[in-house]
Amino acid sequence: MRLLITGGCGFIGSNFIRHVLGHYQPEMITNVDALTYAGSLASTADFHSDFGDRYEFFRADIANTARIDEILARHSYFAVVNFAAESHVDRSIESPQNFVHSNIVGTSVLLDAARRHGVKRFVQVSTDEVYGSLGEVGRFTELSQINPSSPYSASKAAADLLVLAAHKTYGQDVVVTRCSNNFGPFQFPEKLIPLAILRALSNLPVPVYGDGLNVRDWIYVEDHCTAVFDVLMQGQSGEVYNIGADSERKNLDLVRAILAHLGKGDELIEFVQDRPGHDRRYAIDSSKIRNEIGWKPLHSLEQRLGETIEWYRDNETWWREAPRAQ
C-alpha cells in the first residue's frame, strides 16, 4: 500500500510519516511539500537512512495541477492524506491570499487529481478552528455549526466543504478529520508552546495575547497521528471525525507550566494586545471516533509537555536550522 502525504515536512505531517513508516510494514510513502516557511527538510533528515526506499520526497506546490498529475502518475496510490496547509492565524490576518491558494485551491487540485488517477481514498486533515468560538460550557461535535473567525479557519472550512461536496457530487471516497491543538517535537517555533519554550530558554519575554484566559484543547501529536491513520483505514466515507484528548488549558496556565518546568518565574510573561477575532475557547467532543473506530489518546498533557520542553532543550540545532533548511 502506497500513500501520498502532502505537507510531510511540516510539524504534524512529518510526525505522521515517522509514525506510519515506524509502525507499519511495508508501508510506502511519497511526501509532497512546497517547503514554505513552516516546512523544513530538517524535520525529515533521518527518513532516507531510517526507511530507505520506503520513502520518497518531491518538492511541489499542491495547487500546481501539472506537477501533482506528474507525481500521481508515477505510482498507484491507495490514499492521499492532505496535511498541507498554511496554518498560522496571525499570518492569515496579514496575508490571507496565501491561505486561499494553499488551503482552498490546493485542496481542490488534489481532489480532482486523486479522482483522475484512481486514488481510492482522500483524507482531509482539518482543524477544530472551523467551528469558531465556544462559550464557557459545551464541546464541538461533528454536527456543530461551522463558524470560522480568521482567514485561516475560513480557508480550512472551505476546503472541508469542497472535500465533502466531492463525496456527494462524484461519489469520491473521502473523510475529514478535525483536531484540537497539537504539541510535540518538530513544531515550528512561532506556535505557542515552542515559542514559550524558546523564549524562556533565552530569558526573553514570553508574549501572551490579551488576558491569557483563552482556552485550548491540547493533544500530543502522536495521538493525532494514530487517529488520522485509524480514520484512513476505518473511517466511513463522507464522514467527519473530531479528534481531541480532553485536555483543556488556559493559555496563561500553559505558559506558567512551561516556565515552572524550566525554573523560570512569571516575570517573563508579557501580556500583549489581543489578536483580532481571537476565539475564546475550543473543546472537542471526540466520542464519535472513540465509539465507532475505537481510537483513544494514550498520552497525557502533563507527561508529554515536560518531554517536549526537554526535546527543544536538547535539539537546538533543529530549531535554529529548521526555518532555513529549505
CATH classification of the domain holding 78 = 3.40.50.720
**Residue 6 placed within a domain:** yes
**Residue 239 placed within a domain:** yes
**Residue 135 placed within a domain:** yes
Check pLDDT > 80 for residue 37: no
pLDDT more than 70, % of the chain: 98
Residues found in the chain: 326
To 10 degrees, the CA torsion angle through 293, 175, 127, 225? Answer: 50
Quote the domain boundaries for residue 161: 2-187+219-247+280-300
**Residue 205 placed within a domain:** no
Q: Is-contact 122 110, C-beta < 8 A?
A: yes
Q: What average pLDDT does this structure show over 216-244?
A: 98
The pLDDT of residue 87 is: 67
Question: pLDDT digits over 88-142, tens only?
Answer: 677 878 778 888 899 999 999 999 999 999 999 999 999 999 999 998 889 999 9
The b/e string for 86-116 (b: 16+ C-beta within 10 A; e otherwise) is bbbbebbeeebebbbebbbbbbbbbbbbbee
When divided into structural domains, the chain yields a total of: 1
- Tell me the pLDDT band of 325, cut-offs 50, 70 and 90: very low
The pLDDT of residue 90 is: 73
The pLDDT of residue 326 is: 41
Catalytic-residue membership of 241: no
Among candidates 149, 140, 181, 146, which has minimal Cα distance to 160?
A: 146
The pLDDT of residue 323 is: 59
Question: pLDDT digits over 175-211, tens only?
Answer: 999 999 999 999 988 889 999 999 999 999 999 999 9
Question: pLDDT digits over 63-102, tens only?
Answer: 999 999 999 999 999 999 999 988 667 787 877 888 889 9
**Residue 210 placed within a domain:** no
- Tell me the pLDDT band of 31, cut-offs 50, 70 and 90: very high
Among candidates 276, 272, 256, 264, which has minimal Cα distance to 208?
A: 272
24: phi then psi, degrees, rounded to nearest 5: -130, 135
**Residue 313 placed within a domain:** no
Catalytic-residue membership of 239: no
Catalytic annotation, pick one of 33, 61, 128, 223: 128
Among candidates 81, 78, 80, 60, which has minimal Cα distance to 12?
A: 81
The pLDDT of residue 279 is: 87
Catalytic annotation, pick one of 55, 77, 131, 152: 152
**Residue 18 placed within a domain:** yes
The pLDDT of residue 322 is: 66
Letter for the amino acid at 223? D
The pLDDT of residue 199 is: 96
Chain-wide mean pLDDT for the chain?
94
The set of cell numbers assigned to 4 is 501520498
CB neighbour list of residue 303: distance below 8 Å, 6 or more residues apart: none
Max distance between CA atoms of the chain, in angstroms, equals 57
**Residue 309 placed within a domain:** no
How far, in Å, CA of 240 to CA of 311, rounded? Answer: 33
Catalytic annotation, pick one of 129, 223, 248, 285: 129
Q: pTM of the full predicted structure?
A: 0.95
Q: What average pLDDT does this structure show over 297-309?
A: 96
Partners of 2 in beta bridges: 28
The b/e string for 225-264 (b: 16+ C-beta within 10 A; e otherwise) is bbbbbbbbeebeebbbbbbbbebbbbbbebbbbbbebbeb
CB neighbour list of residue 207: distance below 8 Å, 6 or more residues apart: 195, 199, 270, 271, 272
Catalytic-residue membership of 152: yes
